[in-house]
Amino acid sequence: MRTDFAGEMGGYRVLGQVWGGWWRGPGVSSARKVAGFGTEARRQLQPRGSSKRSGSLGNQSFPGLLQPENLSREELVDVLRASVVDQKGKPGELTLFSVLPELSQSLGLGEQELQVVRASGKEASGLVLLSSCPQTASRLQKFFACSRRAQRPTATYWAVTDGIPATSEGKIQAALKLEYVDGVGSVVPVKSPSRKDILEGVKRTLSHFRVMATGPGCALVQLQPVTVFPSQLQVHMVLQLCPVLGDHRYSARVGTVLGQRFLLPAESTKPQKQVLDEAFLRRLHLTPAQAAQMPLHLHLHCLHLPGTRPRDAPIELLAPLPSYFSRTLQSLGLCQQ
């Protein structure tokens, strides 16, 4: 579970599987199994009291999703501590940020403060990179920045999509901007952005994708963002007419007429719960009400960090899939090819 780094790389923690809801509030799930980090990391991890809360499918808003509202602050710290897959060196609101001091104490860091260095998006699951060392955090941020300038991806996501991309692999490029309507942010694409648009916040974005497995009307897709922009991967998959499963913000931009998909104008399409056809719901063994609570099936699966010495190969960190994600893959028959 522990990898020794040179002194300047001390003081980081990596949480293996954290559901993105902790950015907005409650919503943290522990790793069922952590693979690839030695005997200790491969042990079965269960948050305290999880066996009492598993319940039947009818008692859950979405099967396999931990009910965070039932957790105390102490239990949340236990779940986060159990989710550490590699280790080095707002009060009143139950979020990851609010319990970082307790997590620091629980990990034996004393007065050292933890800070988030890298994480998945607000609604995505996966790896969260924390640091208790300012020098380490700075070096990691420089590594990520240099990698972006060299267009070298450092993060690999897995996504389950409603629809199958037209090609098995490729890249998605789009100019995006963040707009606010009634205080709610929404990312929209911009065609042929001008220099003025770029100066006013429009960003040219790029992601690589590869289809890993397909099923009837669905796919497991590997995504590697080269640039960083809010909701970049969700919007990129919408532009491919294959919204991510559980995308209740942008999936409404994909319309269908006579079985043919097309893009609706982003500026005039309001967010709404994702609509799946009856055959899709039957394969997922979900009711429409459960589907409306479906979490975003976008998971930060792999993260590359710099090696111990400058010439060393990057270190690869892997996060296990959340139980609901694994359940969905099994239901849809999305076995990796």
Which residue reads 């995308």 in tokens?
247
Q: What is the pLDDT of residue 25?
A: 36
The answer to the question of residue 328 being in a domain is no
Print the SS3 string covering 202-225: CEEEEEEEEEEEEECCEEEEEEEE
Q: What is the pLDDT of residue 72?
A: 80
Same domain (yes/no): 123, 169: no
Candidates 206, 219, 222, 221; CA nearest to 171 is 206
Chunk the chain into consecutive blocks of 10 residues (it has 337) and report each block's average pLDDT, rounded to whole numbers: 34 56 35 29 34 42 69 76 57 67 80 82 88 88 92 96 97 95 88 92 96 96 96 97 97 93 92 94 94 96 88 88 95 82
The answer to the question of residue 189 being in a domain is yes
Question: Which tokens belong to 178?
Answer: 């963040």
Candidates 42, 32, 26; CA nearest to 323 is 32
Q: Where a domain ends, among 111, 128, 154?
A: 154
The answer to the question of residue 300 being in a domain is no
Neighbours of 251 (CB within 10 A): 25
Q: Where a domain ends, among 138, 154, 170?
A: 154
In whole angstroms, give the CA distance from residue 101 to residue 115. 10
Same domain (yes/no): 127, 249: no
Same domain (yes/no): 31, 149: yes
Print the SS3 string covering 148-215: HHCCCCCEEEEEEEECCCCCCEEEEEEEEEEEEECCEEEEEEECCCCHHHHHCCCEEEEEEEEEEEEE
DSSP bridge partners of 214: 219
Q: Give the helix ranges, DSSP H, for the chain.
A: 38-41, 50-53, 73-82, 100-106, 134-149, 195-199, 232-239, 278-284, 288-292, 323-332
Pair 120, 20: CB distance under 8 Å: yes
Same domain (yes/no): 132, 243: no
List all residues 6 or more positions away from 206 whose beta carbon is below 8 Å from its beta carbon: 151, 171, 172, 173, 225, 226, 227
Structural domain that includes position 89 = 7-154
HSE on the CB side for 332, CA within 13 Å?
27
Same domain (yes/no): 71, 147: yes
Percent of the chain as helix, strand, coil, to the nearest 5: 30, 25, 45
Same domain (yes/no): 71, 167: no
Same domain (yes/no): 134, 118: yes
Same domain (yes/no): 251, 186: yes
The answer to the question of residue 305 being in a domain is no
Same domain (yes/no): 38, 131: yes
Neighbours of 281 (CB within 10 A): 14
Candidates 72, 89, 57, 66; CA nearest to 17 is 66
Same domain (yes/no): 160, 146: no
Taking the whole predicted model, whether its pTM rises above 0.85 is answered as no
The answer to the question of residue 145 being in a domain is yes
Which residue reads 């589907």 in tokens?
291
The answer to the question of residue 285 being in a domain is yes
Same domain (yes/no): 15, 124: yes
List all residues 6 or more positions away from 19 whose beta carbon is below 8 Å from its beta carbon: 27, 28, 29, 65, 66, 125, 295, 322
Same domain (yes/no): 58, 110: yes
In whole angstroms, give the CA distance from residue 135 to residue 63. 41
Q: Where a domain ends, among 139, 154, 169?
A: 154
Question: Which tokens belong to 275?
Answer: 């609509």
The answer to the question of residue 139 being in a domain is yes
The answer to the question of residue 61 being in a domain is yes
Q: What is the pLDDT of residue 294?
A: 95
Query: What CATH number did the domain enclosing 228 receive?
Result: 3.30.2350.10
Number of domains in the chain: 2
